Structure 1
Amino acid sequence: MIVSRGLSASLFRHRLLLSKRNIVTSVGAMASTGKNKTAERTKGFETNLWVEYAALAIESKAINLGQGFPDFSPPQFVIDALVESSKTTMLHQYTRGPGHPRLVKALAAMYSKLYGREINPMTEVVTAVGAYTSLYQSIQGHVNEGDEVILVEPFFDCYNPMVCMAGGKPVFVPLRPSASADKGEGRYPLTSSGWALDMDELKSAFSPKTKAIIINNPNNPTGKVFTRSELGAIAELCISNDVICISDEVYEWLIYPGKEHVRIATLPGMWERTITVGSAGKTFSATGWKLGWSVGPAPLIKNMMTINSNTAYTNPTPIQEAVAIGIETEMARLGEEGSYFKELPSLLLKKRDRMIQVLKEVGLTPIVPEGGYFLLADTANLGIKFDESTGSEPYDVQFAKWMTKEKRIAAIPPSYFFSPEHRYISDGLIRFCFCKEDSTLEAAYDAFRKWAAERRN
């Protein structure tokens, strides 16, 4: 059973927000003039989506269905592992820089089984301060000034600034609602499988300057799980153009019935050119532990280890030890009853289906996700109008702010996950997160029902 422990979610978010506000204020004061001016490579990336919307949710006293972190506890066996590791003297000291030996061995054993090939724990695995930093290592370790990096949209918002700060040029190729997808009576596909790449458009994005492509599977925010055929088409383009694939697979264990998570690194010709990014936070519902990893061929991982040794150097030893124990425990019972890798998606499936039901009641049109713990919903049927003049904020941004302030339900506008030229694709959509305690979700559903009653009157 998953239960809440420790700080309340609201108190935790409040403390986190105050910390971020202090940082932003300090940087803003320093960056104004002279030698304290912000570095040019950060130009255009001064604001942060998560800081802004966390602040809005707190100020509005809204129920936060925006940010993607659980407000329930990690499984007890990893909590116990962390407690026990804290009792061992040497686990309070530095460990091996590229990854704690026990953890990289556990990861290598897990992915060796999943990939059907032997993975060397010392040369083909590297850990990081969260998957965020794993992405940073992969981009900084490989992208040179002027290199092009294809970003499949929608993408997690850090991809673009990380590529730009490395001197690279992002090339955007969006998932679009497929013309053949079942849309029912709505504007968007009924399920996330209805989002698809135009392969001709993707092919045209490759050039002699293309260094890498970044994909997110399962995708945030659509919940799309790429099919073997889709990944095979991406793989063919990577191979024919000699391009690195950075595959962000942090939601790899959150796959719902009827879908299969295919790891692109397992496709023919892809191991030697693929970096796969994983996350302890997403795997064990412990986002505050900030531990990520990458698995791939030794030449690519070596480049990432160079970035690691010159930035973070190492990661917290007790957390790495606890996650190692967690992975060892799960691999011993993979697919069996009692496995957290099986229990968590089953739990989230119920929460997903319940949210879909309630969103329909209020007049929203949900797009059923196949993986992850986010859900997009179309707001068109609500008929709510906002400023559409030139220069105004996108509709979904205005809707998210209005809903947070007026209905006290916080969500995220998905246009932030698209490049400016493709934001029209998410017109009228809003992203909800359902990896929350039932009590949190029921409080939100009460607010939704009140809203539905107001619309009927």
Structure 2
Amino acid sequence: MAGMTSSARPLLNRRLAEFGTTIFAEMSALALRTGSINLGQGFPDTDGPEEVREAAVRALRDGRGNQYPPGPGIPELRTAIAAHQQRRYGLAYDPDTEVLVTAGATEAIAASLLALVEPGDEVIALEPYYDSYAASVALAGGTRVPVTLRPDGNRFRLDLDELRDAVTGRTRMLLINSPHNPTGTVLTREELAFIAELAVERDLLVVTDEVYEHLVFDEAEHIPLATFPGMRERTVTISSAGKTFSFTGWKVGWVTATPELVTTVRSAKQYLTYVSAGPFQYAVAEALALPDSYYTGLRDDLRAKRDVLAAGLTEAGLSVFHTAGTYFVTADIRPLGESDGVAFCRALPERAGVVAIPTAVFYDHQEAGAPFVRFAFCKKKEVLEEAAHRLKGAAASG
């Protein structure tokens, strides 16, 4: 660039040096280039409820949200979020002081970490983890400490002793994600109770990413950590509308916590986006009031799609882990004679016309995730059936 001085110092902030283009961008670009079925990035290929979309259109036409909404979020949405937490989980939050609307859950995570973590603080996160966790910890100057979920039979399990041993005098926060992306694990009541007792015993803050709270299947149950004794006052609970209502592009998320924690998180959030998604906030407020039948239908539809994809992957020769929550299936490629998930995913579009995500990119201990690959099943049934057909054909010809 003309006029740029030569310097040994790189342009990118050193805290972000380890983070390049996200794997989602890379694999989605590969899907476009090869015309493959994209089961990589987790977004639905159909919109959510028509009445929710029409609510956004009404807000736009009525001039609601077209200018800056209030910094904490519109009152209607904050009230709806508080009502949702009360109705679903018996958690009472004051919509005026204990709810904060954010630009999706990703901003809520970033704002929470930037506000609550200082250089030298350790943040324990369950590995593998959503990639923004690592970047947000780095931006805050913290040190991430991964505790690895390991295969145990047909699911991934948290080693509670390993979690306890990871806590040191420098630990500031536990960053918990359940239902868990990418493994599909849903932490049990016993596991959550252990985490809660540990947090209280060691006086730790807890940030919980619960964006898949309504996407739980079979015997699994989502139980917010904030419901456990001693946890409401130390937990920042995060969720969003994108996964629950299939409008991921709207980027409407939220935080519920004590007034002190919400004020702290808002102090960082106001210098990120300040506000966002004005008209969509009104629509999400209406969406949160949908009857229980909506959530049941969503769960049943996704469970059926999970089963279609899991069966197809099994027929293609992969070993499939049970998905108790989220809309991802994790598979082990070693039965195919493969062991490098990154190489496998980069070759898969040419071999089978399907895109997936290598799970290793979500690990600090990449060798622990090397043979695992994540597939998204939040797609039309016929798309999943075609993907399964392609994978089976590629396996047969390979």
**CA-CA distance at 1:356 after TM superposition:** 1.5
AA aligned opposite 2:376: C
Aligned-residue CA RMSD (Å): 1.9
1:293-372 to 2 correspondence within 5 Å? Answer: 293-328=254-289, 330=290, 333-334=291-292, 339-372=293-326
1:351-430 to 2 correspondence within 5 Å? Answer: 351-384=305-338, 395-419=340-364, 422-430=365-373
- Within the candidate set 411, 436, 446, 2:379 is matched to 436
- Within the candidate set 256, 261, 272, 2:217 is matched to 256
Give the distance between the partners of 1:113 and 1:173, measured in 2 at CA.
33
User: Residue 61 of structure 2: SS of its match in structure 1?
Assistant: coil
**CA-CA distance at 1:340 after TM superposition:** 2.0
AA aligned opposite 2:297: E
The range that moved more, 311-320 or 218-227, is 311-320
User: Residue 141 of structure 2: SS of its match in structure 1?
Assistant: coil
Q: 1:31 to 1:265 in 2, by over 3 A?
A: farther
Q: Does 1:243 align with 2:204?
A: yes
**CA-CA distance at 1:384 after TM superposition:** 4.0
- Whether the 8 Å CA contact 1:94–1:316 is kept in 2: the answer is no
Unaligned runs of 5+ in 2: none
2:94 matched residue in structure 1: 120
Q: Does 1:450 align with 2:398?
A: no
AA aligned opposite 1:424: E
2:117 matched residue in structure 1: 143
1:80 matched residue in structure 2: 54
User: Residue 57 of structure 2: SS of its match in structure 1?
Assistant: helix
Q: 1:117 to 1:382 in 2, by over 3 A?
A: closer
Deviations 1:273-293 (A, max 9, x none): 011110110110111111111
Unaligned runs of 5+ in 1: 1-25, 179-188, 386-394
Q: Does 1:209 align with 2:140?
A: no
Deviations 1:234-276 (A, max 9, x none): 1111111110111100000001021111111100110000111
Question: How many residues are treated as equivalent by the alignment?
Answer: 397
Give the distance between the partners of 2:205 and 2:254, measured in 1 at CA.
17
User: Residue 131 of structure 2: SS of its match in structure 1?
Assistant: coil
1:58 matched residue in structure 2: 32
- Whether the 8 Å CA contact 1:153–1:174 is kept in 2: the answer is yes
- Within the candidate set 42, 67, 80, 1:68 is matched to 42
Give the distance between the partners of 2:9 and 2:371, measured in 1 at CA.
43
Give the distance between the partners of 2:135 and 2:395, measured in 1 at CA.
39
User: Residue 86 of structure 1: SS of its match in structure 2?
Assistant: helix
1:229 matched residue in structure 2: 190
User: Residue 401 of structure 1: SS of its match in structure 2?
Assistant: helix
- Whether the 8 Å CA contact 2:124–2:145 is kept in 1: the answer is yes
User: Residue 87 of structure 1: SS of its match in structure 2?
Assistant: helix
- Whether the 8 Å CA contact 1:276–1:296 is kept in 2: the answer is yes
Superposed structure 1 runs of 4+ greater than 3 Å apart: 30-36
Deviations 1:356-385 (A, max 9, x none): 111121111111200110001111121247
- Whether the 8 Å CA contact 1:239–1:269 is kept in 2: the answer is yes
Q: Does 1:285 align with 2:230?
A: no
**CA-CA distance at 1:113 after TM superposition:** 2.4
**CA-CA distance at 1:105 after TM superposition:** 0.6
- TM-score when normalising by structure 2: 0.95
- TM-score when normalising by structure 1: 0.83
Give the distance between the partners of 1:445 and 1:259, measured in 2 at CA.
26
User: Residue 288 of structure 2: SS of its match in structure 1?
Assistant: helix
User: Residue 172 of structure 2: SS of its match in structure 1?
Assistant: strand
Q: Does 1:219 align with 2:162?
A: no
Q: 1:32 to 1:71 in 2, by over 3 A?
A: farther
